[in-house]
């Protein structure tokens, strides 16, 4: 996943989509692990589909619990990461996201990376027009 950010921006927003495929059995308990580059922090992680839910990392737990996972289920998550500034033209991985099975038989079920970059030719869209006065 590659995301372009506005010059001077210090947040990266990523949509993380995970689909359980094939005849895999249901997973009784899972979590999302978010591994960040030095200096980055998670601002928030929210499940946006199938239902909206704020995910919270509890002390002593390895990641953000996502509950049980049905076979062939799809979920989407909105990840917001605060990142240190970096130069135009530079790209770097800002996060690695893993879906893991918790419990007696832990395993990594899926993983992906969030790559952010800045481009000198990237132009921000204009701000919205103010509401019309009557």
| pLDDT higher than threshold 70 for residue 125 | no
pLDDT of residue 123: 46
Give per-residue pLDDT as tens, 47-74: 988 889 999 888 888 789 988 877 777 8
Confidence of residue 34 (pLDDT cuts 50, 70, 90): very high
**pTM exceeding 0.85:** no
CA torsion sign for 71, 25, 57, 13 is: negative
Confidence of residue 131 (pLDDT cuts 50, 70, 90): low
Domain boundaries, the chain: 2-117
| pLDDT higher than threshold 60 for residue 4 | no
Give per-residue pLDDT as tens, 71-86: 777 889 999 888 877 6
Instruction: Report the largest interatomic distance among the alpha carbons of the chain, rounded to a whole angstrom.
Output: 65
Average confidence score pLDDT of the chain: 78
Q: Which residue has the higher pLDDT, 5 or 18?
A: 18
| Bridge partner list, 120 | none
Topology of the domain covering 2-117: Immunoglobulin-like (2.60.40)
pLDDT of residue 44: 92
How many angstroms separate the first and last alpha carbons of the chain?
45
């Amino acid at each position: 996943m590659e995301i372009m950010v506005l010059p001077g921006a210090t947040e990266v927003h990523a949509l993380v989509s995970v689909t359980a495929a094939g005849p895999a059995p249901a997973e009784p308990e899972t979590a999302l692990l978010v591994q960040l580059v030095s200096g980055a922090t998670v601002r928030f992680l929210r499940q946006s589909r199938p239902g909206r839910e704020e995910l919270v990392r509890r002390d002593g737990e390895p990641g953000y619990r996502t509950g049980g996972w049905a076979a062939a289920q799809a979920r989407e998550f909105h990840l917001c990461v605060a990142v240190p500034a970096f130069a135009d033209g530079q790209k770097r991985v800002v996060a690695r996201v893993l879906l893991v099975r918790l419990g007696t038989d832990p395993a990594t079920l899926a993983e992906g990376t969030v790559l952010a970059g800045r481009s000198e030719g990237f132009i921000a869209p204009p701000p919205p027009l103010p509401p019309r006065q009557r």
